Amino acid sequence: MEYELDKALKDMSIEDDKPIVLARGIALTKDQFQFFFDSESELTTVLETGAWTFNDWSITLERWVEKPPDDYLKIIPIWIRLRNIPVNFNTADTIKEIAAHIGQVSLVAFDPLKPLSKGYVRVKVLFDVNKPLKNFRELQIPSGEVINIGVEYERIRRRCYQCQRLTHDRE
């Protein structure tokens, strides 16, 4: 009976199933890799997700092109959170204007008909990795008052402590 049970369990085993391979890659240089995807949808999902990290360092990902432009692998899509926008200026145009000083705006997740229950507005920008990350931007309102707008970068963990850039680290 024990033998029959063991045989039945072995027959039900999925040991013959091979693992699913989502991406394969090769090293091009010491700091550049090329990944291969099995489908266009997998590639699109990876590219549209935003910032990716390895060992807490940001990774710039772009679709391979035969003749890359000058800014190739220097732009990273990231979601930012803008905080402390005065309620009277909480409009899509103002949000885009503030975010445009951080990077090229690709999407504003703002609905003026919904309350800002989380205290921030999310904006997806294309960020130049050679620029420093800034934790706030100054906004001068028509009265002349200058207000600090807080900026948070989603999924960005490590940066240089001296110059705030993503490309290197100095203690």
pLDDT digits (tens, 9 = 90+) for 132-170: 999 999 999 999 999 999 999 998 877 777 778 777 777
pLDDT at 71 over 70: yes
Closest CA to 59 of 45, 78, 41: 78
Question: What is the reported pTM?
Answer: 0.72
Spatial contact of 76 and 127, defined as CB atoms under 8 Å apart = yes
Separation of alpha carbons 55 and 32, rounded Å: 15
Angle at 113 between CA 119 and CA 125, to 5 degrees: 55
Domains plus CATH for the chain?
A: 2-59 (no CATH), 75-153 (3.30.70)
In this prediction, residue 16 carries a pLDDT of 56
In this prediction, residue 160 carries a pLDDT of 76
**Comparison of pLDDT for 130 and 4, the residue scoring more:** 130
Q: What is the mean pLDDT of the chain?
A: 83
**Comparison of pLDDT for 8 and 40, the residue scoring more:** 40
In this prediction, residue 149 carries a pLDDT of 96
In this prediction, residue 98 carries a pLDDT of 96
Q: Would you state the structure tokens that stand for residue 114, as one six-digit string? A: 């919904």
pLDDT band at 12 (very low <50, low <70, confident <90, very high): low
